[in-house]
Structure 1
Amino acid sequence: MRFFLLALLLASPLCVAKTVVVIQSYHLGYKWDADYVDAVQSVLGDDHDIHIFELDTKRLPKSEWPQKVASIQQSISQLQPDVAILGDDNAFSLMASHLVEKQIPVVFLGVNGGPAQHPTLEHELVAGILERPFFAESIRHLQKVLRVDERFLVLMDDSPTMRNAINEYFGEKRSAEVYGSQLDIVLTNDKDTWLQSVFSAHEQYDAIVVGTHHTIRDSEENYIEPKDLIGEAFTRSQVPIFSFWDIFIGEQQAIGGFTISAHQEGLTASRLASLILKGVKPNRIPKMKSLSGHYVYSDSGMKHWNLKLSPMIASQANFVE
């Protein structure tokens, strides 16, 4: 059944035009959201009526989330969509139960939590892709790039997405061994703690690997723009910075890595939604995990750290800039 459905994802024609809503945890200015929304538009946009909503939970304080949710719920009741695509954990936790209560099928992507965090994942109207960063594969890859297998600092914000990603793979541990390398994991929403971890990393680590850094605030609770944060880290770090996600790779950002692609996640979610729009029941579609990683590297970052990829990896990599 799984392989039959995957074949349908690629081969089935689209159905008569229907209404699709995309509900983002974040906002279109965030590259992850922009990439998967672009993928949704490329698959469904020519044949269906698509409406996009931003929960904006990385920038809005939590006290303002209920008002935002209520506004989107009101819009949903007016649109009566045929399917809803939810991006990431916050959109799922805030919107999924309401949607299935209204008998609206849900397709999710970018969700790191499991049924313990999100019981609605098991609902018969829900299908989608569980986002699972390639932790082990990434470390194995970086060992080859750096030719070391000593210590790595994994540095992330303390958002629901990152907590779920870490807990899914490492449990409650914040120090672990992967392929013989020691990983120390820091999750924080405090700007000073995040930056100090970068500045002192050379004292213990061979490299830093970053996750999201989009819920970080200073001591006065001012929101810190992610590009400003990673730009300062790039400038002042004494060890190279890599990433588990392709959206953080580029000029004055992370150098590269073996990463998840938001665009690919969006393509898969859109094809699942097209199956539902053609009449396939969501509970007939197996839950999936992130399908494949890819090598992405920044030309300027490679030069900055005087790093070179092996001919084999370079031939498979996508280079930005």
Structure 2
Amino acid sequence: MRFLLLALLLASPLCFAKTVVVIQSYHLDYTWDADYIDAIRSVLGNDHEIHVFELDTKRLPKSQWPDKVASIEQSVSSIKPDIAILGDDNAFSLMASGLVEKQIPVVFLGVNGGPVQHPTLNHELVTGILERPFFAESIRHLQKVLRVDERFLVLMDDSPTMRNAVNDYFGEKRSAEVYGSQLDIVLTNDKETWLQSVFTAHEQYDAIIVGTHHTIRDAQETWIPPKELMAEATSRTQVPIFSFWDIFIGKGQSIGGFTISAHQEGITAARLASLVLNGVKPDRIPQLKSLSGHYVYSESGMKEWNLKLSPMIASQSTFVE
């Protein structure tokens, strides 16, 4: 069945024009969202009408989420789409049940939670891609890049996305051993705690690996733009900073790593959607896990930290800048 699904994903012929809604957890200025939406448009945009809505949950306080959801639900009811594509956990938890109640099929991507957090994952009208950071693969890769296997700090915001990702792999543990390396995991939405974890990391760790850092606020509850946060972190860190996501790699950001690609997640989600639009029932399409691990590196970051990849890894890597 899996091989048949992969073959269908490669082919995914398109049917007569239909209407697709894409509902983001976040916002179009967020690179992750922009990348997967571009990918969805590249697959479906020439043949179908696409409407995009942003919940903006990384910037809006939770008190404003219900009004945002109600507004999007009203728009969706007016549009009467043939399918909805939901990006990330917040969009799924806030929108999925209402959509399937209206008999609208749902394809999701970027969802880290399982059926405990999201019971609607088990609905017959739902399929998609469970986003799973490549924790073990990243550590094994970085051991070779750094030539050490001692201690790594995994630093993330305390968002539903990161909590679900960590809990899925590590359970309730916030310290673990992976391929002989010790990992300590810090999830926080507090700017001071996040930055101090970076500034003091050299006292215990060989490197930092960052997850998302888009729900960070200061003591006054002011939201901190991610690039501003990373610029301060990279200017003062005494150990190299790597990433689980390709969107956080570049000058003034992390150096690189074995990462998830938003573009590929979007391509896969769009192909799943095209199968549904062609008459395949969602419950006949097995839910997938992230397939898109790839090596991405910042040339300036590698130079700054005097890092070199093996010829084999370098030949498989994408270099930014």
The alpha carbon displacement at 1:12 in A equals 3.4
**3-state DSSP of counterpart to 2:154:** strand
Question: For residues 9 and 306 of structure 2, what CA distance do their matches in structure 1 show?
Answer: 42
**3-state DSSP of counterpart to 1:7:** helix
**3-state DSSP of counterpart to 1:104:** coil
Partner in structure 2 of residue 141 of structure 1: 141
Question: For residues 186 and 303 of structure 2, what CA distance do their matches in structure 1 show?
Answer: 27
**Contact 2:248–2:254 (CA<8 Å) still a contact in 1?**
yes
The alpha carbon displacement at 1:13 in A equals 1.8
Partner in structure 2 of residue 299 of structure 1: 299
**Contact 2:265–2:292 (CA<8 Å) still a contact in 1?**
no
**3-state DSSP of counterpart to 1:224:** coil
**3-state DSSP of counterpart to 2:93:** helix
Letter in 1 for 2:314: A
Letter in 1 for 2:218: D
The alpha carbon displacement at 1:3 in A equals 1.6
Partner in structure 2 of residue 309 of structure 1: 309
* CA RMSD after TM alignment: 0.5
Letter in 2 for 1:306: N
Map 1:154-233 onto structure 2 (within 5 A).
154-233=154-233
Q: How many residues in Structure 1 have an aligned counterpart in Structure 2?
A: 321
Matched-pair identity in %: 84
**3-state DSSP of counterpart to 1:155:** strand
Runs of 4+ in 1 over 6 A off after TM superposition: none
Partner in structure 2 of residue 259 of structure 1: 259
Q: Does residue 14 in structure 1 map to residue 11 in structure 2?
A: no
The alpha carbon displacement at 1:11 in A equals 1.4
Q: Deviations over 1:281-312 (max 9, x none)?
A: 00000010001300000001111111111111
Question: For residues 82 and 63 of structure 1, what CA distance do their matches in structure 2 show?
Answer: 30
Q: Deviations over 1:95-150 (max 9, x none)?
A: 00000000000000000000000000000000000001100000000000000000
Partner in structure 1 of residue 74 of structure 2: 74
**3-state DSSP of counterpart to 2:155:** strand
**3-state DSSP of counterpart to 1:218:** coil
**3-state DSSP of counterpart to 2:172:** coil
Question: For residues 284 and 75 of structure 1, what CA distance do their matches in structure 2 show?
Answer: 29
Partner in structure 2 of residue 150 of structure 1: 150
Question: For residues 215 and 129 of structure 2, what CA distance do their matches in structure 1 show?
Answer: 23
The alpha carbon displacement at 1:68 in A equals 0.3
Partner in structure 2 of residue 128 of structure 1: 128
Question: For residues 153 and 8 of structure 1, what CA distance do their matches in structure 2 show?
Answer: 40
Question: For residues 104 and 158 of structure 1, what CA distance do their matches in structure 2 show?
Answer: 31
Q: Deviations over 1:201-240 (max 9, x none)?
A: 0000000000000000000000000000011111100000
Question: For residues 303 and 42 of structure 2, what CA distance do their matches in structure 1 show?
Answer: 34
Letter in 1 for 2:189: N
Question: For residues 179 and 77 of structure 2, what CA distance do their matches in structure 1 show?
Answer: 50
Question: For residues 235 and 317 of structure 1, what CA distance do their matches in structure 2 show?
Answer: 25
Unaligned stretches of 5+ residues in structure 1: none
